Chains A and B, each alone.
Chain A
């Protein structure tokens, strides 16, 4: 038998062994596909202008910046965002309060539920509170979820139904792995601006080298923020303003605190 025919025969046999042969979706599968579709299109697309026109007057927050992502490998998806009015994070503090393990686990559960993503074994990389707001960063193998939420949302039985009370989340199903860092370096992997009903904020997060014990963020608006540093990660968020001609994009730099007591300024 010629090799061509032989391969054709093998191909035919392989098709009989297809573990996913052509078939129609079941009713249950169709229903789940429809639910997934609705969940996906409820998140803003990648064009900021595209999520605005049909919205009511209440301001809808959105991801404006995803700086420092490695090409198209990282995609941050705002889970939900919200509403206008309110005071601008009056309770916010430049120094974070770490969460207990129990509180962090509860925040992680709420974050996943609010984002409607399942637990893929992500660990709590950072969990902090600033005033009445809880921030949690969940890092997994290839996935990453970040949530900023009012403390009283944490622990709600059905947080997805309470997102209107103020919540900002992002989920990245395709997160690049940790960078290789010199011991005294940090790498900001993501920064984003968004809004909740209390106004606009900026968050940044990334990795720290093994000698880094602390990170301070200095913003062009004059804030000095102590980031949370846990393991090889750092994260911080702070109140900001919507970009406009009067308020051009905010910039910030870092002071890196090292184990030997020295500091290093970046950017």
Chain B
């Protein structure tokens, strides 16, 4: 528990600050994982939890954001779980408009959007989740680890494996880099 907010007014103000600062990021986080028509409802549920557990919400914004993402992930797990509540939450990508302009717009990109969009569904939900937390949700390794409830080291390993799998999946359409080379993996701080 980080702090205890004393008066109802202070409490509401603190919640207001978190709400205003994190709402859009939380909505984007959820939209990547559920049908957009449900996203606002999920955000409402998550914010309700935050209001109820305000003293558990980290004081700094980035920590609070990761905390909210963690609650959101759990909420999504609960809504879709049957037997196994520990399933990773799959992440979707935007639709790719197929056509000659696809790779032409981004000549510097190694793999076209279509290549990656085709490879993405072949990844496990665990792999999708690790990559999305780092790349799309923009979390550092410790923040992503907090969302998943694992250590930062475990997250880095998971991300590294997920990136490797994605490279292999894309490999059929583009030149794969030398797979055995001990180049450093890129991972968030």
Once A and B bind, how many residue pairs between them come within 8 Å at the CB atom?
170
Tell me which of B55, B82, B135, B163 has the highest count of chain A C-beta atoms within 10 A of its own C-beta: B135
Q: Which of A30-45 contact B (CB under 8 A)?
A: 32-33, 36-37, 39-41, 43, 45
Tell me which of A9, A13, A22, A142 has the highest count of chain B C-beta atoms within 10 A of its own C-beta: A13
CB-defined contacts of B27 to chain A, threshold 8 Å: 20, 25, 29
The reply to whether A2 and B177 form a contact with Cβ atoms under 8 Å apart is yes
Bits for A161-185, please: 1 = Cβ < 8 Å to B, else 0: 0000000000101110100000000
State the CA gap A32–B48 with chains docked (Å): 15
Contact of B78 among A13, A36, A54, A174 (CB under 8 A): A174
State the CA gap A77–B44 with chains docked (Å): 13
- Closest chain B residue to A120 by CB distance? B79
The reply to whether A46 and B53 form a contact with Cβ atoms under 8 Å apart is yes
Task: Spot the interface stretch: B58-66, B109-117, B139-147, B150-158.
Answer: B109-117
CB-defined contacts of A18 to chain B, threshold 8 Å: 32, 93-94, 136
Q: In whole Å, how far is B136's beta carbon from the nearest beta carbon of chain A? A: 5
Q: Does B148 sit within 8 A of A, measured CB to CB?
A: no
Number of interface residues of A (CB under 8 A): 51
The reply to whether A36 and B110 form a contact with Cβ atoms under 8 Å apart is no
Bits for B69-103, please: 1 = Cβ < 8 Å to A, else 0: 00100110111111001000000111010000000
Q: Which of B172-189 contact A (CB under 8 A)?
A: 175, 177-178, 181, 183-186
Tell me which of B6, B27, B110 has the highest count of chain A C-beta atoms within 10 A of its own C-beta: B110
The reply to whether A2 and B183 form a contact with Cβ atoms under 8 Å apart is yes
State the CA gap A246–B48 with chains docked (Å): 34
The reply to whether B8 and A177 form a contact with Cβ atoms under 8 Å apart is no
Interface size on B, as a range, is 35 or more
Bits for A135-161, please: 1 = Cβ < 8 Å to B, else 0: 000000111000000000000000000
State the CA gap A18–B137 with chains docked (Å): 9
State the CA gap A102–B88 with chains docked (Å): 39
Bits for B38-71, please: 1 = Cβ < 8 Å to A, else 0: 0011011111110111111000000000000001
The reply to whether B7 and A175 form a contact with Cβ atoms under 8 Å apart is no
CB-defined contacts of A173 to chain B, threshold 8 Å: 45-46, 48-49, 75, 78
Q: In whole Å, how far is B43's beta carbon from the nearest beta carbon of chain A? A: 7
CB within 8 Å for A37 and B181 given contacts A6-B167, A75-B49, A141-B78 = no
Q: In whole Å, how far is B16's beta carbon from the nearest beta carbon of chain A? A: 7
Contact of B109 among A13, A54, A141 (CB under 8 A): A13
The reply to whether A3 and B48 form a contact with Cβ atoms under 8 Å apart is no
Q: Does B2 sit within 8 A of A, measured CB to CB?
A: no
CB within 8 Å for A15 and B136 given contacts A33-B23, A45-B52 = yes
Contact of A6 among B7, B110, B136 (CB under 8 A): B110
State the CA gap A2–B71 with chains docked (Å): 37
The reply to whether B186 and A8 form a contact with Cβ atoms under 8 Å apart is yes
The reply to whether A174 and B75 form a contact with Cβ atoms under 8 Å apart is yes
State the CA gap A177–B8 with chains docked (Å): 33
CB within 8 Å for A4 and B75 given contacts A41-B12, A43-B48 = no
- Closest chain B residue to A16 by CB distance? B113
Residue pairs across A and B with Cβ atoms less than 8 A apart, 24 shown, are A3-B167, A4-B185, A7-B163, A10-B110, A13-B112, A14-B116, A14-B135, A14-B136, A15-B135, A16-B94, A19-B92, A20-B32, A20-B136, A29-B27, A36-B43, A40-B15, A45-B8, A46-B53, A50-B6, A54-B9, A75-B53, A141-B79, A143-B78, A173-B45
Nearest first, the 9 A-B pairs at minimum CB distance are A142-B78, A20-B31, A20-B28, A173-B45, A9-B110, A17-B93, A3-B183, A19-B94, A36-B44
Given A20-B29, A72-B56, output 12 extra A-B contacts at Cβ < 8 Å.
A1-B110, A1-B177, A13-B112, A15-B136, A18-B32, A20-B28, A40-B15, A45-B11, A53-B7, A142-B79, A174-B78, A175-B78
